[in-house]
Structure 1
Amino acid sequence: MKMNQFFMAAGCAAMLSPVFAGGDGWTSDFAAAKKQAADEKKSLLVDFTGSDWCGWCIKLNEEVFQHDPFKEGVKDKFVLVELDYPRDKSKLSDETKAQNEELRKEYAVQGYPTILLMDEKGRPFARTGYQAGGPENYVKHLDELLAARTKRDEAFAAAEKAEGTEKAKALVAALDAMGLDDAVVSAQYGDVVAAIKEADPEDESGFIKKIESNKKFADFEDSLNALARENKHEDALALTEKAINSGDFEGDNLQQATMIKGMICAQMGDFDAALAALDAAKEVDPDSELASRVDTFKDRINQMKAAKEADKEESE
């Protein structure tokens, strides 16, 4: 090979090789990472990041991931996976972009950075994000979270020794202790959910009802977001009212849906309906964190209503 051809080939190879924000030691191949974790008996540390726009992601890389104490502290415990969602899409291959988007949905990731610790099967057992204090502190934090895997496995093993409702409640407690999104639990712990159903066919624990309700709410949100992108406010309002009246939702889900109705009505300029919906949302659970924000929303809507009435009077 001629010298200029050699440098051209080397340059192309460099451009095609992924550059990881955290430096060397990371991979973007999720399937390969799971296999490596299984072979080396390690856990996965999966970083969902926006490398060229997310301020906290950049801080996490600069303050923690790029430093030797972090690399040394995790090398024997974790396989490191970076799933990037950059604004500059040219940084990623089409295959990587498709993989990352699928995994973002599968693991219900809504903010960045999201750090999920997973076993070799890709089942999360802990969730975190940016932590101040530098690499040593972060490694200590990860070690504490890593203990959640041992507790999970011990809890599952103990539950297997129980029967009926007691077994179901023990499995539910093990899942709840991890603090994972219900959509992630359904997707990644389907065998455990099935075991709960079998052990508690009457659903005395209420777990299955909660899981199914949250799944329906997630589907409702997906449909609502699709309508919002097309500015179909009337269709969005009809969908929301149908969801509220379906009887499928209660508690937090019902409160959220009713509050969403108020926001849609406000966008449509029906401020009285918006205020009535917010009052109804607050009544669902007056002591909830969401209810504590209702008065702020109502103040804003009343301001919008007053401005509209003032404009009307001026035009007349």
Structure 2
Amino acid sequence: MRLFIPLLAGALFAVSSSLPANEAVWLDHYEAGLEKAAAEDKDLLITFVGSDWCDQCQVLRESVLTKNEFTRALGRDFVFVELDFPQSKPAIAERNEPIRVQYGIKGYPVLVTADENGHPYGVVRYLHDWRVTDYVDAVKDQQDNRLTRDEARQEFEAAQSDEDRVTALEKLLRAVPETSILGMYEAEFQALREASKDQSPLVAEVVAKERTENLQTELVPLMNSKRYQEAVALCDDYLSHETLKKGERQMALAFKYYSLMEIPDYQEAMETAQTLQEIDPASPIGQQAFGLVKRAEKLLLAAREKEATPASTPDEPAVAGVGEAARSDGQEAEVAKTEGVAPAPAKSEQEPSQKVDTQEASAKALAAVEAALKEAEAALKTAREAHEESLAEQQAPQKEEGGESTWDESQVSAFEKRARELTRQAEALRQQAEKLRKASQQ
């Protein structure tokens, strides 16, 4: 591969010489950019883009990067390199991925200024209104960082004590992009850790940032695969570090809260949100914590009420219909859907060991909840009619003693509320059964 680079660079130089003087060449290979920068004694201006999916990348390219005003102003000092991460051409994205990791790039588009060896010293992101002059000025401003970095390197090499080495290294590392410290400036960072005995504030900042990014990276697959218990354990391990800042601790508690809500463990989730709020009530996430506490508290109370409510009562024959068929099949199907496994087969009364086909079970559940839905809707209609009758009788003259009694309005209201709740529950069960039916047909 290294033998091929000079040939590729030579071909690119040939292309460059055939173009008008005011048209710059954007190289699409990082190694070719390094070769050209070394040959021409220039720095690198590297753009990281997603050409076929990032709208802002396309705007930046059309409004700024391809303008002669931009390339003329910077062409004397920089070699232009565009590293693309297109979704339609994964081979190109895969080729550029190691450079992205080295530079610590996590968003697009971004412009990076680097020396002829590829060591970055500046970053330019989105600037308002996409004005060419603003981008030119921003790129030129980054060159001050290089001067500071190089000056600090000389001070470090001349330092006679650890204290002076720490001062010089902190100055050097604060002049370069923070995202590149653990990649392109790993040697300088390790030297700072050694000289400061890990007591430098900059070391603490970088270590904390890396720890937080690692937490987020590990949490994503756990939560996507619904491994919430493991996510909670990971958050607890992160929270065991005593050097965490308030914001870092709140962030981990927020992840833990949402994992607990999915398990669900509403009691611990509520306590987690309370702890989150106590750390810093004035922070943005601290202000949201009150709502998180209330949400967990509400669901906890609802769960306790559900546990205390009998499966069926003499006053609710419609609910009994839902209870046996929908709970046995619908809830079992929902558990299967959540855990990513097939529903356990139902058993007939005559043959306990007989397995029932998944499609038949889901159809049975669907029919049961649809019947329950109709019964609940009928109950709601009856309640409304009774309510209207009650209002009409209240407006009419009082009946004689011994006449037909009217419904108490509070009783009608309670009945109507209960009927609406039954309708909502039956509809939710119907939707679950419908999803199961569709899944069984695939």
State TM-score, norm by structure 2: 0.57
Q: 1:274 aligns with which of 259, 269, 273?
A: 269
For the residues of structure 2 that align with 1:299 and 1:286, how far apart are their CA atoms? 12
| Residues 86-144 of structure 1: CA deviation (Å, up to 9, x unaligned) | 2323xx6x2x3222222233323222112221222222211121223522231122111
Query: Secondary structure of the residue that 2:182 maps to in structure 1?
Result: helix
Note the C-alpha offset of 1:253: 3.1
- Give the AA of the match of 1:159: F
Which residue of structure 1 lines up, in the alignment, with residue 174 of structure 2? 176
Structure 1, 70-79 or 80-89: larger mean CA deviation? 80-89
Which residue of structure 2 lines up, in the alignment, with residue 98 of structure 1? 94
For the residues of structure 2 that align with 1:122 and 1:283, how far apart are their CA atoms? 45
Q: Does 1:140 align with 2:137?
A: yes
Which residue of structure 2 lines up, in the alignment, with residue 8 of structure 1? none
Which residue of structure 1 lines up, in the alignment, with residue 248 of structure 2? 253
Structure 2: unaligned runs, 5 residues or longer: 1-22, 307-417, 426-442
What is the aligned-residue RMSD (CA, Å)? 3.0
Contact persistence 1:43–1:120 (CA under 8 A): yes
Contact persistence 1:217–1:249 (CA under 8 A): no
Q: 2:151 aligns with which of 132, 151, 154?
A: 154
Note the C-alpha offset of 1:146: 2.0
For the residues of structure 2 that align with 1:160 and 1:213, how far apart are their CA atoms? 28
For the residues of structure 2 that align with 1:276 and 1:173, how far apart are their CA atoms? 43
Q: 2:287 aligns with which of 289, 295, 312?
A: 295
Judged with a 3 Å threshold, the aligned counterparts in structure 2 of structure 1 residues 139 and 292 are, in CA distance, closer, same or farther, namely: same
- Give the AA of the match of 2:288: T
Q: Does 1:228 align with 2:226?
A: no
List aligned pairs for 1:7-156, cutoff 5 A.
Answer: 25-89=25-89, 94=91, 96-131=92-127, 132-156=129-153
Contact persistence 2:166–2:192 (CA under 8 A): yes
- Give the AA of the match of 2:214: D
Number of aligned residues: 284
- Give the AA of the match of 2:164: E
Structure 1: unaligned runs, 5 residues or longer: 1-22
Contact persistence 2:120–2:177 (CA under 8 A): no
For the residues of structure 1 that align with 2:84 and 2:226, how far apart are their CA atoms? 29
For the residues of structure 2 that align with 1:46 and 1:278, how far apart are their CA atoms? 43
Judged with a 3 Å threshold, the aligned counterparts in structure 2 of structure 1 residues 36 and 124 are, in CA distance, closer, same or farther, namely: same
For the residues of structure 2 that align with 1:58 and 1:151, how far apart are their CA atoms? 33
Judged with a 3 Å threshold, the aligned counterparts in structure 2 of structure 1 residues 231 and 118 are, in CA distance, closer, same or farther, namely: farther
Higher Rg: 2
State TM-score, norm by structure 1: 0.77
Judged with a 3 Å threshold, the aligned counterparts in structure 2 of structure 1 residues 39 and 277 are, in CA distance, closer, same or farther, namely: farther
For the residues of structure 2 that align with 1:38 and 1:285, how far apart are their CA atoms? 51
Judged with a 3 Å threshold, the aligned counterparts in structure 2 of structure 1 residues 73 and 308 are, in CA distance, closer, same or farther, namely: farther
Contact persistence 2:193–2:200 (CA under 8 A): no
Which residue of structure 2 lines up, in the alignment, with residue 219 of structure 1? 214
